Amino acid sequence: MSLASPSLSLFVGLRYWRARKDTRFVSFITLFSVLGIALGVAALIIVSSVMNGLEGRLKGKILGAVPQLVIEAGEGDLNRFEPLLSGDPRIRGAVPMLTSEAMVQRGNELGGVQLLGVDPEREAPLSAVSSHMIYGSLTDLSPGQFNIILGSQLARQLSLLPGDKVRVMTAQGARYTPMGRVPAQRQFTVVGVFELGSDIDKGLALVNLEDAGRLLRQSPDLRLYLNDAFDAPMLSEELALKAQSQLGETVAITDWREQYGQLFSAVKMEKRMMSLLLGLIIAVAAFNIVSALVMMVTDKTADVAILKTLGLSRRQVMGIFSVQGMSSAVLGTLVGLSVGLLLANHLQPVLSLLGIWLLPPGQPLPVIIDPTQVASVVGGAVLLSFLATLYPAWRASQVNPAEILRYE
């Protein structure tokens, strides 16, 4: 093989990486660097996939039930917003809605809820509530019957069963009497209970849109269902600009961030901090690569001097030790990738076998593997490892053959 051959650095680097009979301590450090990178990559993939799953579950069970984006229509016709919404692939559906903060009372027990007035026929195909009913259905919310559907936690708190009566009170639609301002209130009949497995189960109540209009004495707003609830912030700004330019009016638009923005911001921050902490494992393993390569350079100084005497360039010398360090990094990354994907795809069976339930029994741990995220973990591990090889490789390229071979 010619000294000018670009594959010479690869050949010599792999040869040094495989032949370590006389450098057992260096081999020991290299082994730990491989295991460290594998552990860091696997842990990052598993933890990020679980965090994605938990975030996805929260998004589906909370943001699938509460209003994701609401256009406050005022007294105007809702159909005037149709040109703003048509053809937008981010919008899954638009339905009329009334909402208010309310109290639900039975005897001496009270519970605070977000009261939603909905059109059952149009709401059923879109809302997450319709697919999580314990009993009853959205279509039981017949107009004029003053029926109500509650979450399971609130129903248990108030000891409610189908057919029971509850009093709904709200400050919106309050009436003024000789005794002062009296909240709007009405008796409703419980016709259904839903269970989403989140805090929504104790803080959401649904009634028919017409019944809510009579109680609140308001006109309905327009509720938008989105394919991805996280598109709401950008979409609300776009719709406000369109309404100004196309309809010539300023509309008030609210989204889910008013109620649940802090929750999802905390989840996102937790994901970032977990990634940072687990990334430190890979960083420590990369430092092990630096240590192993520095000792290898010291051990192979005479070899490097001879190769440089034969005409090997500094770039080729750097390539030899970069290949040697990257061989450990790539091996550790591939092992970590394989183990991480395998465990992430079978995490719940493994935890069940060990008798570990991180969620209440019966609720499997959600896992969503994001290929882009996995690629960034792998790419980051390889890049960090490559940067770790630069100093030892540069130090090897600075060997002076005359000084080293003077006493050989």
pLDDT digits (tens, 9 = 90+) for 274-315: 888 888 888 887 777 777 777 766 666 666 666 666 666 777
Q: How far apart are CA 229 and CA 63, in angstroms?
A: 7
Structure tokens at 161: 């069963």
Q: What is the pTM of this model?
A: 0.74
Interval 313-319 mean pLDDT:
73
232-265, pLDDT tens digit by residue? 889 988 888 888 888 777 888 888 888 888 888 8
59 has pLDDT over 70 = yes
103 has pLDDT over 70 = yes
What pLDDT is attached to residue 348? Answer: 80
Kindly report the average pLDDT of the chain as a whole number: 81
What pLDDT is attached to residue 208? Answer: 94
What pLDDT is attached to residue 330? Answer: 85
Higher pLDDT, 128 or 12: 128
Higher pLDDT, 182 or 156: 156
Interval 58-80 mean pLDDT:
82
pLDDT band at 86 (very low <50, low <70, confident <90, very high): confident
What pLDDT is attached to residue 2? Answer: 46
What pLDDT is attached to residue 115? Answer: 92
Interval 13-25 mean pLDDT:
56
8 has pLDDT over 60 = no
What pLDDT is attached to residue 141? Answer: 92
324-375, pLDDT tens digit by residue? 777 778 888 899 999 999 998 888 888 777 777 776 666 778 888 999 999 9
Which of 244, 236, 227 is CA-nearest to residue 64?
227
18 has pLDDT over 60 = no
Interval 78-88 mean pLDDT:
82
Residue in the block written with tokens 């994901």: 271
**What region does 348 belong to: left with phi over 0, alpha with psi -120 to 50, or beta?**
alpha
163 has pLDDT over 80 = yes
What whole-number percentage of the chain has pLDDT above 90? 18
What pLDDT is attached to residue 146? Answer: 93
pLDDT band at 36 (very low <50, low <70, confident <90, very high): confident
What pLDDT is attached to residue 58? Answer: 82
What pLDDT is attached to residue 20? Answer: 52
